[in-house]
A = this chain, B = another copy of it.
Amino acid sequence: MTTHLPSWNDTPTKANILAFVRDVTDPNGSRFVPVAERIAVFDNDGTLWCERPIYAQFAFAFDLLAEKARQDPDLQHQQPYRAALAGDMEWLHGYLSNSTLPAFIDMVLKATAGATQSEYELRATAWLKETSHPHFGVPYTRLVYRPMVELLAYLQQHAFQLFICSGGGMDFVRLFSEEIYNIPRQNVIGSNMVLTWEERETGPQLVRQPGLVEPFNDGPGKPVNIQLHVGRPPILTGGNSNGDLQMMEFAAANGAPHLNLLLRHDDADREYTYDRSAERIQQIAAARQWTQISMKRDFKRVFADDIDRG
């Protein structure tokens, strides 16, 4: 049918996307949107790349906790340090819930507090390079969904300005956004540690503090932070879980043309099958006729060929 988006099957989902982009870029059409307003915003974990068994950033944090436990034997018999030392991500996946998450995040924040921003970036960059995903056996940065990366490029060709809006750490995602998504650092929105500008021996530096900047970039924090970073609502969003609901409402709020894309993980053969943390937004998306992407039905390929072949 078309040469656009070759890793997508020719389903109504793909047709919806192509029709929307055609409409908003047609200067003679009734749904035309000027370039300055063509803002597209995508969640990262589970929307642009794989988030299972745990977020890549939590795997990094887990390794930082393991390192701490190696230096402090008292910690080695306590959780989550014991699991971290064993690299037991299934334990962490089972352990994390709405009630345990704040304490875990607090622990993770403390693990990099006191470091300068440059020290953190060097450390996280090295980790991303040397660490493989426990199931797929390749670096996390290779586990991007190929159809979604094609979609990003297709939108850029149509003068959309792309932003990532991740619940994860802004400075973590920025370390690879240019390389794997062609999205510059300044177009990454996420959650943040408090930074301060402090005098160090070598001169003043940005230093990481053990606290979070409000609002955390999830749920109602997403439209607030999109306003902070972009200054206008998106006309296209991509997400996969309840935390993306308000971001999608933001796109829909002023009655202008918009397209909300909700990705569903329903492909156990090629990725994972799960609806956890997505039940509510799936219901709302169905009721409001937002476009739902089925990985199984709509993705001709999921990852790069060597990963898809297993």
**A231 contacts B188, CB within 8 Å?**
yes
Nearest CB of B to A125, in Å: 13
**A196 contacts B224, CB within 8 Å?**
yes
**A36 contacts B178, CB within 8 Å?**
yes
**A224 contacts B197, CB within 8 Å?**
yes
**B117 contacts A227, CB within 8 Å?**
yes
Chain B residue numbers with a CB within 8 Å of A227 are 117, 195, 206
Q: How far is the CA of A188 from the CA of B227 in the complex (A)?
A: 11
A57 at the interface (CB under 8 A from B): no
A192 at the interface (CB under 8 A from B): yes
Number of identical monomers bound together in the oligomeric complex: 2
Q: How far is the CA of A163 from the CA of B187 in the complex (A)?
A: 13
Nearest CB of B to A307, in Å: 28
Nearest CB of B to A30, in Å: 22
Q: How far is the CA of A223 from the CA of B118 in the complex (A)?
A: 14
Q: Which residue of B lies closest to A192 (CB)?
A: B228
**A220 contacts B246, CB within 8 Å?**
no
Q: Which residue of B lies closest to A254 (CB)?
A: B118
Q: How far is the CA of A230 from the CA of B206 in the complex (A)?
A: 14
The answer to whether A186 and B231 touch (CB under 8 A), given A36-B178, A203-B249, is yes
A73 at the interface (CB under 8 A from B): no
Nearest CB of B to A180, in Å: 14
Chain B residue numbers with a CB within 8 Å of A185 are 36, 230-232
Nearest CB of B to A161, in Å: 7
Q: How far is the CA of A250 from the CA of B116 in the complex (A)?
A: 13
**A204 contacts B36, CB within 8 Å?**
no
A229 at the interface (CB under 8 A from B): yes
Chain B residue numbers with a CB within 8 Å of A205 are 253
A184 at the interface (CB under 8 A from B): yes
A267 at the interface (CB under 8 A from B): no
Q: Which of A187, A188, A196, A231 lies at the interface centre, i.e. has the most chain B CB atoms within 10 A of its CB?
A: A231
A174 at the interface (CB under 8 A from B): yes
Q: How far is the CA of A250 from the CA of B205 in the complex (A)?
A: 8
**A174 contacts B224, CB within 8 Å?**
no
Residues of A at the B interface (CB closer than 8 Å) are 36, 117-118, 161, 163, 170-171, 174, 178, 184-188, 192, 195-197, 203-206, 213, 220, 223-224, 227-232, 246, 249-250, 253-254
In the A-B complex, the 3 residue pairs with the smallest Cβ-Cβ separation, listed nearest first, are: A185-B231, A197-B220, A174-B231
